[in-house]
């Protein structure tokens, strides 16, 4: 019975013959080897190839393959305990996008944080005429919203984005895992800039 699948490597059928032609048999074996080599998984960037008698497996390195992109934090949070008090430092890991390319104060400086249960770390920008005038890193023991409630009935004066939370045992949970930019939005009929993750 002939195979229904096409012989894409042109090896031809392997049949028992009374007087086999050695050169044809060797040629078929060489084509079969070429076919196997063409289907072989080669080592590459972002994964390791593990071959065994049971088969071949790929070990994907973290952030290198599949659908999951490498996790990036535009601001990296560091926490330490010094003299029985908690301190935190924020470093800029990637670009902060704003219309005015505003410098951010409070970066790369160790600041004391009062951690009772949780300390929230956020980026706060001061706004005037719908433009960012200044931006700084702030720490608070309370959760904060993106917009100051006082701004809801007037022209915007501030916007903020939570960067992370520190628990009383020093555990850090980062909220922002992508680059940050400002979006122009609307609140109660006023134009508002919101700092949002991309």
> What pLDDT is stored for residue 91 in this prediction?
83
Q: What angle is formed at CA 96 by the lines to CA 92 and CA 101, rounded to 5 degrees?
A: 120
Q: Using one digit for the tens of pLDDT, what is the confidence trace for 96-121?
A: 554 456 678 888 888 888 766 778 88
Sign of CA dihedral 158, 160, 166, 168: positive
Helix (H) or strand (E) holding 27: helix 22-38
Strand-pairing partners, residue 129, are none
* Lowest-confidence region among 20-29, 100-109, 121-130: 100-109
173-182 residue pLDDT tens: 887 766 777 7
Contact at 8 Å (CB) between 123 and 146? no
Coil, helix or strand for 153? helix
Exposure letters 142-173 (e unless 16+ CB within 10 A, then b): eeeebbbeebeeeebeebbbbbbbbeeeeeee
Q: Looking at residues 135-144, what average pLDDT do you find?
A: 74
Residue-level pLDDT at 1: 47
Residue boundaries of the structural domains of the chain: 22-60, 75-197
């Amino acid at each position: 019975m002939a195979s229904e699948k096409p012989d894409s490597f042109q090896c031809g059928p392997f049949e028992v013959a009374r007087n086999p032609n050695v050169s044809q048999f060797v040629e078929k074996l060489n084509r079969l080897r070429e076919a196997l080599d063409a289907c072989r998984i080669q080592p590459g960037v972002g994964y390791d190839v593990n071959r065994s008698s049971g088969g071949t497996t790929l070990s994907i390195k973290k952030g290198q393959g599949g659908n999951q992109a490498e996790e990036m934090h535009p601001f990296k949070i560091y926490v330490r305990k010094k003299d029985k008090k908690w301190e935190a430092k924020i470093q800029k890991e990637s670009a902060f996008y704003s219309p005015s390319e505003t410098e951010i104060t409070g970066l790369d400086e160790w600041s004391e944080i009062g951690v009772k249960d949780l300390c929230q770390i956020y980026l706060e920008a001061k706004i005037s005429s719908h433009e960012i005038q200044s931006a700084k890193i702030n720490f608070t023991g309370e959760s904060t919203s993106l917009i100051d409630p006082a701004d809801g009935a007037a022209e915007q004066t501030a916007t903020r984005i939570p960067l992370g939370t520190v628990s009383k045992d020093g555990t850090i949970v980062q909220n922002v895992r992508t680059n940050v930019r400002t979006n122009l939005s609307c609140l109660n009929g006023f134009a508002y800039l919101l700092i949002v993750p991309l």
